[in-house]
Chain A
Amino acid sequence: MNPSMAITEAPGLFTADGLTGLIFLIMMAVTVIGGLIACCAERLVRAIAGLIVCFIGVAALYYFLNSPFVAMLQILIYVGAICITIAFAIMLAAPEESRKHGPAGPLSGPLGFISASLVAIGLIAMAMRTVFTSYPKINKGTVEEIGIEFLTTYAMVFELISIVLLIAIIGALVIARAGRSK
């Protein structure tokens, strides 16, 4: 189906388009529910569990959009590395009750609700008015093609990101070493 074509009538549930749409909606729901858990949970570890659900939903979306490589890296890096590191840090720092506390900020309550709805209305209005055009596929999204793109077209960006990561690692090592006496 041409993505730029407007859908005039809803496809039947058991057609290819209908099932695709259903899967897409399920993945959106997983992502949104995960995000809500991450925001609303009282305990930090539960918030991280919500974050994992959210990341898995996003990874499923990448897979849905025909980029399995990005989907797997999303799981490997965000779920397998970042979430575990965060959870680890929380458990080592505050293994017992780590509920939210502290005074509520000025944006909590009605003001927060109003500002959030303004942002939501703005985004919805923008999304409704934009004419979505389909772009030609850049490549097949295989590892080989992504690697070639990284080392030719985006070589500069790739190298700069690796330098940023190197600096972050060295910085973390310096900070960690500073705590030791000898």
Chain B
Amino acid sequence: MSLTLLNVIVAVVIAIAFAAANAAYLVWAERRGAARIQRRPGPNINGPFGLLQPPIDGIKLMTKQLMIPGGADKILFMVAPVLAMAPAIMSFVTIPFSENIVARNMDIGVLMIFAFASMGAMAILLAGWGSRNKYSVMASVRAVSQNVSYEIPMLITAITVIMVNGSMDLKAINLAQAGGFWHWNIFPSLQSPLMPVSFIIFFICSLAETNRAPFDLGEAESELVAGFHTEYGSMGFGLFFMAEYANIVIGASLTTLLFLGGWGCPFGLFPGVWWFLLKIYLLIATFIWIRWTFPRTTIYGLLNLSWKILIPISLFNLLLTAGFMKVF
């Protein structure tokens, strides 16, 4: 179990490449999905099915001049996009893609992902404040209050799963779910009869944590121009974009690992990384589908949903699970 320097470098390079490739092609998938739902063509000119669109967009972003607005706080303005991207890369370190494909399996994997995910809110806050733009500040206040309030039910639900599986180790949680879909955590068991509810809460929270529609109050174009990244152009904006999609991948991976049996096959055949990728991309497709189907909520509706519905239900679920585990 020695972690050599080469191991670390390879893991980091793969994590960055995976995040970047996902960011590029999820944008394409999102635009195509949006177009299909709204009955318009979408990017279809460059390459077959428009598949060359992401590299062209990337080159465009990278060749643009880096503009810093006059009144902005220069250091914080430059630091914020990096701070948005770095925690997302860190979280990939402990996500097991299959039983053997994991950069560093930790016995506190769930905790580590939540710890680094909570740093993302700070990046949004610094970006909004550093831009010195009132729309940006408003947007970052909204985004952070949303992130903080949805982190609570998400963590409580994760604790429910951790209690049922008796481990914070993502690999151990998945090995406990191996061998057929009836072992998955999403289905009610004797220990936790409300597991489907937990899954729905967790999924809603991961939508809100990644600032996706219908919860994208942080970048409501109709009210706040473009939200916290109004003042960002070129690769600064590109990094925020990549961080958003990297966070979506992490959210989908975590949902898969905690509830959907990770790399296990529904029928116990050929478990491996392909099942994991299939599951996360199905979840991401659901993310895209939801984004282009539902209208944006209001900020009060959003906060009320978390504090008045999700937190009480998840707390009740936690107590119920504890009771059932004690009795059975």
By a beta-carbon cutoff of 8 Å, the part of chain A in contact with chain B is 43, 45-46, 49, 52, 68-69, 72-73, 75-76, 79-81, 83-85, 87-88, 91-92, 95, 142-143
14 contacts between A and B (CB under 8 A): A46-B73, A49-B76, A68-B112, A72-B108, A72-B112, A73-B111, A79-B119, A80-B114, A88-B125, A88-B141, A91-B125, A91-B140, A95-B134, A143-B168
**Which residues from A are CB-within-8-Å of B112?**
68, 72
Q: Is the CB of A75 within 8 A of B118?
A: yes
Q: Is the CB of B115 within 8 A of A75?
A: yes
Beyond A76-B115, A80-B119, 6 additional pairs, beta carbon < 8 A: A45-B126, A49-B126, A75-B118, A75-B119, A87-B125, A143-B111
**Which residues from A are CB-within-8-Å of B122?**
52, 79-80, 83-84, 87
**Which residues from A are CB-within-8-Å of B199?**
none
Q: Is B190 an interface residue (CB 8 A)?
A: no
**Which residues from A are CB-within-8-Å of B168?**
143
- Residue in contact with B107 in the complex, picked from A73, A79, A92, A143, CB distance below 8 Å: A143
Bound CA span A84–B118, Å: 9
Q: In the complex, how many angstroms separate the beta carbon of B78 from the nearest chain A beta carbon?
A: 12
Q: In the complex, how many angstroms separate the beta carbon of B308 from the nearest chain A beta carbon?
A: 15
**Which residues from A are CB-within-8-Å of B16?**
none
Residue of B nearest to A41 (CB): B75
- Residue in contact with A76 in the complex, picked from B76, B114, B126, B129, CB distance below 8 Å: B114
Q: Is the interface of A mostly helix, strand, loop or mixed?
A: helix
Q: Is the CB of B145 within 8 A of A88?
A: yes
Q: Is B249 an interface residue (CB 8 A)?
A: no
Residue of A nearest to B112 (CB): A72
Q: Is B137 an interface residue (CB 8 A)?
A: yes
Q: Which of B73, B76, B129 has the most CB of A within 10 A?
A: B129
Q: Is the CB of A79 within 8 A of B118?
A: yes
Q: Is the CB of B111 within 8 A of A46?
A: no
**Which residues from A are CB-within-8-Å of B111?**
69, 72-73, 76, 143
Q: Which of B103-125 touch A at CB < 8 Å?
A: 106-108, 111-112, 114-119, 121-122, 125
**Which residues from B are CB-within-8-Å of A68?**
106-108, 112
Q: Is B37 an interface residue (CB 8 A)?
A: no
**Which residues from B are CB-within-8-Å of A79?**
115, 118-119, 122
**Which residues from B are CB-within-8-Å of A85?**
148
Bound CA span A142–B111, Å: 12
Bound CA span A92–B108, Å: 35
Residue of B nearest to A46 (CB): B76
Q: In the complex, how many angstroms separate the beta carbon of B213 from the nearest chain A beta carbon?
A: 23
Bound CA span A110–B108, Å: 48
- Residue in contact with B108 in the complex, picked from A43, A95, A143, CB distance below 8 Å: A143
Q: Is the CB of A69 within 8 A of B108?
A: yes
Q: In the complex, how many angstroms separate the beta carbon of B269 from the nearest chain A beta carbon?
A: 33
Q: In the complex, how many angstroms separate the beta carbon of B123 from the nearest chain A beta carbon?
A: 10
Q: Is B144 an interface residue (CB 8 A)?
A: yes
Contact with A along B139-158 (1 / 0, CB 8 A): 01100110010010000000
Q: In the complex, how many angstroms separate the beta carbon of B280 from the nearest chain A beta carbon?
A: 23
Q: Which of A73, A79, A81, A85 has the most CB of B within 10 A?
A: A79
Bound CA span A87–B123, Å: 11
Q: Is B79 an interface residue (CB 8 A)?
A: yes
Bound CA span A75–B112, Å: 9
**Which residues from A are CB-within-8-Å of B114?**
76, 80
Q: In the complex, how many angstroms separate the beta carbon of A103 from the nearest chain B beta carbon?
A: 26
Residue of B nearest to A92 (CB): B141
